[in-house]
Amino acid sequence: MATRTYLDHAASSPVVPEAAAAMRELLGVPGNPSSLHAAGRAARRVLEDARESLAADLGAHPSEVVFTSGGTEADNLAVLGVQVADRPQIAVSAVEHPAVAAVRDRHTDVVVLPVDAGGHLDLAASALLVGPQTALVSVMWVNNETGAVQPVAEVVDLAHRAGVLAHSDAVQAFGHLAVDFAASGLDLLSTSAHKLGGPVGIGALLVRRGTRLAPVGFGGGQEARLRSGTAPVALAAGFAAASRVAAGRRVAEATRLAALRDRLVAGALATVPRTRSNTVEPCGPAIVNLTFAGVRADDVLLLLDAAGFDASTGSACTAGVHQPSEVLLAMGRSLDDASASLRFSFGPPTTTEQVDALLAVLPGIVERARAAA
Protein backbone atom coordinates (compact mmCIF):
# COMPACT_ATOMS: atom_id res chain seq x y z
CA MET A 1 0.00 0.00 0.00
CA ALA A 2 1.36 3.42 -0.98
CA THR A 3 2.37 5.74 1.83
CA ARG A 4 -0.14 8.50 2.51
CA THR A 5 0.44 11.91 4.05
CA TYR A 6 -2.16 12.96 6.59
CA LEU A 7 -2.61 16.74 6.74
CA ASP A 8 -6.01 16.97 8.42
CA HIS A 9 -5.16 16.99 12.13
CA ALA A 10 -7.61 19.82 12.79
CA ALA A 11 -10.37 17.36 11.92
CA SER A 12 -8.96 14.54 14.04
CA SER A 13 -5.44 13.64 15.09
CA PRO A 14 -4.23 10.04 15.52
CA VAL A 15 -4.42 8.61 19.01
CA VAL A 16 -1.04 8.85 20.74
CA PRO A 17 0.41 5.59 22.15
CA GLU A 18 0.08 6.81 25.74
CA ALA A 19 -3.65 7.40 25.34
CA ALA A 20 -4.15 4.07 23.60
CA ALA A 21 -2.33 2.27 26.43
CA ALA A 22 -4.38 4.02 29.10
CA MET A 23 -7.63 3.01 27.41
CA ARG A 24 -6.52 -0.53 26.62
CA GLU A 25 -5.86 -1.13 30.32
CA LEU A 26 -9.42 -0.15 31.22
CA LEU A 27 -11.60 -1.41 28.38
CA GLY A 28 -12.25 -4.80 29.97
CA VAL A 29 -12.60 -3.49 33.53
CA PRO A 30 -16.21 -3.45 34.84
CA GLY A 31 -17.74 -0.77 37.00
CA ASN A 32 -20.04 2.19 36.58
CA PRO A 33 -18.47 5.21 38.30
CA SER A 34 -21.86 6.08 39.79
CA SER A 35 -22.18 2.67 41.49
CA LEU A 36 -21.36 2.31 45.19
CA HIS A 37 -19.78 -1.15 45.10
CA ALA A 38 -16.03 -1.80 44.87
CA ALA A 39 -15.93 -1.91 41.06
CA GLY A 40 -17.88 1.34 40.89
CA ARG A 41 -15.59 3.02 43.40
CA ALA A 42 -12.54 1.90 41.43
CA ALA A 43 -14.02 3.34 38.23
CA ARG A 44 -14.81 6.58 40.07
CA ARG A 45 -11.18 6.88 41.20
CA VAL A 46 -9.96 6.52 37.63
CA LEU A 47 -12.48 9.10 36.43
CA GLU A 48 -11.55 11.62 39.11
CA ASP A 49 -7.84 11.07 38.53
CA ALA A 50 -8.42 11.89 34.86
CA ARG A 51 -10.42 14.97 35.83
CA GLU A 52 -7.64 16.20 38.13
CA SER A 53 -4.96 15.58 35.50
CA LEU A 54 -6.90 17.41 32.81
CA ALA A 55 -7.66 20.30 35.17
CA ALA A 56 -3.95 20.66 35.95
CA ASP A 57 -3.09 20.86 32.24
CA LEU A 58 -5.81 23.46 31.64
CA GLY A 59 -5.18 25.64 34.69
CA ALA A 60 -8.56 24.78 36.20
CA HIS A 61 -9.94 23.36 39.44
CA PRO A 62 -11.09 19.74 39.07
CA SER A 63 -14.63 20.72 40.06
CA GLU A 64 -14.72 23.01 37.01
CA VAL A 65 -14.22 20.14 34.55
CA VAL A 66 -17.48 18.76 33.14
CA PHE A 67 -16.89 15.81 30.84
CA THR A 68 -18.95 15.78 27.63
CA SER A 69 -19.10 13.66 24.49
CA GLY A 70 -16.82 16.12 22.68
CA GLY A 71 -16.29 19.73 21.73
CA THR A 72 -19.67 20.03 20.03
CA GLU A 73 -21.62 19.06 23.14
CA ALA A 74 -19.41 21.30 25.26
CA ASP A 75 -20.15 24.25 22.95
CA ASN A 76 -23.87 23.45 22.90
CA LEU A 77 -24.01 23.32 26.69
CA ALA A 78 -22.23 26.64 26.96
CA VAL A 79 -24.35 28.63 24.51
CA LEU A 80 -27.71 27.03 25.33
CA GLY A 81 -27.20 26.55 29.06
CA VAL A 82 -26.70 30.21 29.96
CA GLN A 83 -29.96 31.57 31.31
CA VAL A 84 -29.89 35.06 32.78
CA ALA A 85 -33.10 36.88 33.69
CA ASP A 86 -33.77 39.94 31.53
CA ARG A 87 -30.78 39.08 29.30
CA PRO A 88 -32.15 37.05 26.35
CA GLN A 89 -29.33 37.72 23.91
CA ILE A 90 -26.32 35.61 22.87
CA ALA A 91 -23.37 37.25 21.06
CA VAL A 92 -21.15 35.02 18.89
CA SER A 93 -18.36 35.88 16.48
CA ALA A 94 -18.95 35.60 12.73
CA VAL A 95 -16.31 32.86 12.41
CA GLU A 96 -17.43 30.29 14.97
CA HIS A 97 -17.46 26.52 14.54
CA PRO A 98 -20.94 25.22 13.59
CA ALA A 99 -21.34 23.92 17.16
CA VAL A 100 -21.62 27.56 18.25
CA ALA A 101 -22.69 29.30 15.04
CA ALA A 102 -25.83 27.17 14.69
CA VAL A 103 -27.20 28.71 17.89
CA ARG A 104 -28.64 31.24 15.45
CA ASP A 105 -31.10 28.52 14.41
CA ARG A 106 -32.02 27.62 18.01
CA HIS A 107 -32.08 30.98 19.78
CA THR A 108 -34.38 33.89 19.06
CA ASP A 109 -31.92 36.67 19.87
CA VAL A 110 -28.37 36.24 18.57
CA VAL A 111 -25.96 39.03 17.69
CA VAL A 112 -23.10 38.29 15.30
CA LEU A 113 -19.81 40.02 16.12
CA PRO A 114 -17.82 41.03 13.00
CA VAL A 115 -14.23 40.18 12.11
CA ASP A 116 -11.61 41.90 9.98
CA ALA A 117 -10.05 40.64 6.75
CA GLY A 118 -7.65 38.44 8.73
CA GLY A 119 -10.49 36.76 10.58
CA HIS A 120 -9.77 38.48 13.89
CA LEU A 121 -12.54 39.97 16.00
CA ASP A 122 -13.32 43.64 15.41
CA LEU A 123 -13.26 44.64 19.06
CA ALA A 124 -14.48 48.21 18.58
CA ALA A 125 -17.50 47.14 16.55
CA SER A 126 -18.20 44.24 18.91
CA ALA A 127 -18.21 46.49 21.95
CA LEU A 128 -21.12 48.41 20.44
CA LEU A 129 -23.12 45.20 20.01
CA VAL A 130 -22.71 43.79 23.53
CA GLY A 131 -24.98 45.41 26.08
CA PRO A 132 -27.67 45.09 28.77
CA GLN A 133 -29.59 42.46 26.79
CA THR A 134 -26.58 40.17 26.34
CA ALA A 135 -26.08 37.09 28.53
CA LEU A 136 -23.06 35.49 26.86
CA VAL A 137 -20.23 36.38 24.48
CA SER A 138 -18.73 33.37 22.66
CA VAL A 139 -15.53 33.77 20.63
CA MET A 140 -13.37 30.80 19.65
CA TRP A 141 -9.71 30.86 20.69
CA VAL A 142 -8.22 29.50 17.45
CA ASN A 143 -10.28 29.32 14.29
CA ASN A 144 -10.67 25.78 13.00
CA GLU A 145 -10.47 26.82 9.32
CA THR A 146 -7.89 29.61 9.18
CA GLY A 147 -5.97 29.26 12.44
CA ALA A 148 -6.67 32.88 13.41
CA VAL A 149 -5.99 33.45 17.12
CA GLN A 150 -8.59 35.65 18.74
CA PRO A 151 -7.81 38.26 21.43
CA VAL A 152 -9.26 36.23 24.30
CA ALA A 153 -8.14 38.59 27.07
CA GLU A 154 -9.78 41.54 25.32
CA VAL A 155 -12.94 39.52 24.70
CA VAL A 156 -13.16 38.66 28.39
CA ASP A 157 -12.64 42.31 29.33
CA LEU A 158 -15.31 43.42 26.85
CA ALA A 159 -17.77 40.87 28.22
CA HIS A 160 -17.13 41.46 31.89
CA ARG A 161 -17.31 45.25 31.57
CA ALA A 162 -20.84 44.69 30.26
CA GLY A 163 -21.64 42.22 33.02
CA VAL A 164 -21.69 39.37 30.52
CA LEU A 165 -20.37 35.80 30.70
CA ALA A 166 -17.48 34.92 28.35
CA HIS A 167 -17.07 31.56 26.58
CA SER A 168 -14.37 30.34 24.21
CA ASP A 169 -14.21 27.25 22.05
CA ALA A 170 -10.58 26.26 22.66
CA VAL A 171 -10.71 22.97 20.77
CA GLN A 172 -8.01 24.06 18.28
CA ALA A 173 -6.01 25.98 20.89
CA PHE A 174 -5.51 23.30 23.55
CA GLY A 175 -2.28 21.44 22.86
CA HIS A 176 -0.90 24.16 20.58
CA LEU A 177 -1.11 27.36 22.67
CA ALA A 178 -0.83 28.04 26.39
CA VAL A 179 -4.39 27.60 27.68
CA ASP A 180 -4.82 28.57 31.33
CA PHE A 181 -8.46 28.72 32.35
CA ALA A 182 -7.88 30.48 35.66
CA ALA A 183 -5.63 33.15 34.15
CA SER A 184 -7.84 33.68 31.09
CA GLY A 185 -10.76 35.06 33.08
CA LEU A 186 -13.16 33.05 30.92
CA ASP A 187 -16.32 31.76 32.53
CA LEU A 188 -16.69 28.82 30.14
CA LEU A 189 -14.23 26.98 27.90
CA SER A 190 -14.73 24.02 25.54
CA THR A 191 -12.19 21.42 24.52
CA SER A 192 -12.05 18.00 22.87
CA ALA A 193 -9.78 14.97 23.14
CA HIS A 194 -9.42 13.81 19.56
CA LYS A 195 -7.84 17.03 18.29
CA LEU A 196 -4.76 16.45 20.46
CA GLY A 197 -4.23 12.71 20.16
CA GLY A 198 -6.96 11.47 22.48
CA PRO A 199 -9.99 9.34 21.65
CA VAL A 200 -13.06 10.42 19.72
CA GLY A 201 -16.14 10.64 21.93
CA ILE A 202 -15.03 12.74 24.86
CA GLY A 203 -14.44 16.42 25.55
CA ALA A 204 -14.95 18.83 28.40
CA LEU A 205 -16.62 22.09 29.25
CA LEU A 206 -14.83 24.09 31.92
CA VAL A 207 -17.33 25.98 34.07
CA ARG A 208 -15.84 28.58 36.40
CA ARG A 209 -16.95 28.09 39.99
CA GLY A 210 -19.96 30.29 40.70
CA THR A 211 -21.09 30.39 37.07
CA ARG A 212 -24.75 29.45 36.74
CA LEU A 213 -25.51 27.09 33.90
CA ALA A 214 -28.61 24.99 33.17
CA PRO A 215 -28.49 21.50 31.65
CA VAL A 216 -29.73 21.20 28.08
CA GLY A 217 -30.56 17.49 28.42
CA PHE A 218 -31.98 15.36 31.20
CA GLY A 219 -31.11 12.12 32.96
CA GLY A 220 -29.01 11.19 35.95
CA GLY A 221 -27.03 14.43 36.08
CA GLN A 222 -23.76 12.56 36.50
CA GLU A 223 -21.50 15.50 35.58
CA ALA A 224 -22.18 18.23 38.15
CA ARG A 225 -25.91 17.95 37.32
CA LEU A 226 -25.11 19.65 34.01
CA ARG A 227 -24.55 16.63 31.79
CA SER A 228 -26.26 13.26 32.08
CA GLY A 229 -25.08 9.83 31.02
CA THR A 230 -22.69 7.19 32.32
CA ALA A 231 -19.20 8.65 32.26
CA PRO A 232 -16.85 6.84 29.80
CA VAL A 233 -14.01 6.02 32.18
CA ALA A 234 -11.62 4.59 29.59
CA LEU A 235 -12.13 7.58 27.29
CA ALA A 236 -11.52 9.98 30.18
CA ALA A 237 -8.25 8.22 30.99
CA GLY A 238 -7.24 8.41 27.32
CA PHE A 239 -8.12 12.11 27.22
CA ALA A 240 -6.00 12.79 30.30
CA ALA A 241 -3.06 10.81 28.90
CA ALA A 242 -3.17 12.65 25.58
CA SER A 243 -3.41 15.96 27.40
CA ARG A 244 -0.32 15.19 29.47
CA VAL A 245 1.63 14.30 26.32
CA ALA A 246 0.49 17.44 24.50
CA ALA A 247 1.25 19.67 27.49
CA GLY A 248 4.72 18.21 27.87
CA ARG A 249 5.80 18.87 24.30
CA ARG A 250 3.65 21.92 23.53
CA VAL A 251 6.34 24.61 23.36
CA ALA A 252 8.78 22.66 21.18
CA GLU A 253 6.01 21.30 19.00
CA ALA A 254 4.45 24.73 18.46
CA THR A 255 7.78 26.07 17.25
CA ARG A 256 8.28 23.11 14.92
CA LEU A 257 4.77 23.25 13.45
CA ALA A 258 4.89 27.02 12.98
CA ALA A 259 8.00 26.56 10.84
CA LEU A 260 6.15 23.98 8.73
CA ARG A 261 3.18 26.31 8.44
CA ASP A 262 5.36 29.16 7.21
CA ARG A 263 7.21 26.81 4.83
CA LEU A 264 3.96 25.69 3.22
CA VAL A 265 2.55 29.21 2.90
CA ALA A 266 5.76 30.63 1.41
CA GLY A 267 6.19 27.69 -0.95
CA ALA A 268 2.60 27.79 -2.20
CA LEU A 269 2.66 31.54 -2.78
CA ALA A 270 5.95 31.22 -4.68
CA THR A 271 5.07 28.27 -6.90
CA VAL A 272 1.29 28.36 -7.46
CA PRO A 273 0.08 31.45 -9.33
CA ARG A 274 -3.01 33.29 -8.04
CA THR A 275 -2.76 31.83 -4.57
CA ARG A 276 -3.74 33.67 -1.41
CA SER A 277 -3.10 32.73 2.21
CA ASN A 278 -6.04 33.14 4.57
CA THR A 279 -3.84 32.33 7.57
CA VAL A 280 -2.85 35.70 8.98
CA GLU A 281 -0.90 36.52 12.15
CA PRO A 282 -1.66 36.13 14.96
CA CYS A 283 -2.40 32.54 14.08
CA GLY A 284 -1.97 29.08 15.53
CA PRO A 285 0.99 26.96 14.47
CA ALA A 286 -0.88 24.01 12.99
CA ILE A 287 -3.37 25.33 10.41
CA VAL A 288 -2.87 26.73 6.90
CA ASN A 289 -5.76 27.92 4.73
CA LEU A 290 -5.03 28.69 1.07
CA THR A 291 -7.23 30.00 -1.73
CA PHE A 292 -6.37 28.82 -5.25
CA ALA A 293 -8.26 31.24 -7.47
CA GLY A 294 -10.10 29.70 -10.39
CA VAL A 295 -10.61 26.21 -8.98
CA ARG A 296 -13.34 24.21 -7.30
CA ALA A 297 -11.94 23.21 -3.93
CA ASP A 298 -13.39 19.72 -4.25
CA ASP A 299 -11.44 19.17 -7.48
CA VAL A 300 -8.15 20.04 -5.77
CA LEU A 301 -9.08 17.90 -2.78
CA LEU A 302 -9.80 14.85 -4.93
CA LEU A 303 -6.61 15.27 -6.94
CA LEU A 304 -4.60 15.55 -3.72
CA ASP A 305 -6.36 12.47 -2.40
CA ALA A 306 -5.38 10.55 -5.53
CA ALA A 307 -1.78 11.72 -5.04
CA GLY A 308 -1.75 10.42 -1.45
CA PHE A 309 -2.46 13.59 0.53
CA ASP A 310 -5.32 13.96 3.01
CA ALA A 311 -6.47 17.57 3.38
CA SER A 312 -9.77 19.36 3.89
CA THR A 313 -11.98 22.06 2.44
CA GLY A 314 -12.69 23.40 5.93
CA SER A 315 -14.61 22.20 8.96
CA ALA A 316 -15.16 18.45 9.00
CA CYS A 317 -18.40 18.92 10.95
CA THR A 318 -20.68 19.71 8.02
CA ALA A 319 -21.98 16.23 7.13
CA GLY A 320 -19.47 15.84 4.29
CA VAL A 321 -21.17 18.47 2.16
CA HIS A 322 -18.85 21.14 0.80
CA GLN A 323 -20.27 24.63 0.67
CA PRO A 324 -18.56 28.02 0.41
CA SER A 325 -16.81 28.71 3.70
CA GLU A 326 -18.92 30.88 5.99
CA VAL A 327 -15.73 31.82 7.80
CA LEU A 328 -14.07 33.17 4.65
CA LEU A 329 -17.24 34.97 3.60
CA ALA A 330 -17.32 36.67 7.01
CA MET A 331 -13.72 37.76 6.35
CA GLY A 332 -14.85 39.54 3.20
CA ARG A 333 -13.74 36.94 0.66
CA SER A 334 -15.78 36.56 -2.52
CA LEU A 335 -18.11 33.62 -3.07
CA ASP A 336 -15.67 32.24 -5.65
CA ASP A 337 -12.71 32.48 -3.30
CA ALA A 338 -14.69 30.97 -0.42
CA SER A 339 -15.39 28.01 -2.74
CA ALA A 340 -11.75 27.65 -3.81
CA SER A 341 -10.01 27.28 -0.45
CA LEU A 342 -8.36 24.32 1.27
CA ARG A 343 -7.15 23.71 4.79
CA PHE A 344 -3.96 21.84 5.64
CA SER A 345 -3.42 21.06 9.31
CA PHE A 346 -0.44 19.53 11.07
CA GLY A 347 0.28 17.28 14.02
CA PRO A 348 3.14 15.36 15.65
CA PRO A 349 3.70 13.03 12.64
CA THR A 350 3.98 15.92 10.16
CA THR A 351 7.48 16.42 8.76
CA THR A 352 9.38 18.86 6.58
CA GLU A 353 9.67 16.12 3.95
CA GLN A 354 5.90 15.78 3.83
CA VAL A 355 5.40 19.51 3.37
CA ASP A 356 8.02 19.57 0.61
CA ALA A 357 6.36 16.59 -1.07
CA LEU A 358 3.06 18.47 -1.02
CA LEU A 359 4.69 21.56 -2.51
CA ALA A 360 6.19 19.42 -5.27
CA VAL A 361 2.80 18.22 -6.51
CA LEU A 362 0.63 21.23 -5.65
CA PRO A 363 1.38 23.41 -8.73
CA GLY A 364 0.49 20.62 -11.15
CA ILE A 365 -2.63 19.66 -9.23
CA VAL A 366 -3.92 23.24 -9.12
CA GLU A 367 -3.17 23.65 -12.84
CA ARG A 368 -5.23 20.53 -13.61
CA ALA A 369 -8.07 21.70 -11.37
CA ARG A 370 -8.15 25.08 -13.11
CA ALA A 371 -8.31 23.40 -16.49
CA ALA A 372 -11.30 21.37 -15.31
CA ALA A 373 -13.18 24.27 -13.71
Give the distance from CA 212 to its chain's centroid: 24
In one-letter notation, the amino acid at residue 120 is H
Please identify every residue annotated as catalytic. Answer: 317
53, 248 in Cβ contact below 8 A?
A: no
314, 341 in Cβ contact below 8 A?
A: yes
Question: Rounded to whole angstroms, how far apart are CA atoms 69 and 185?
Answer: 25
Question: Rounded to whole angstroms, how far apart are CA atoms 202 and 70?
Answer: 4
Q: Which residues contact 181 (CB under 8 A, 6 or more apart)?
A: 58, 59, 60, 64, 189, 206, 208
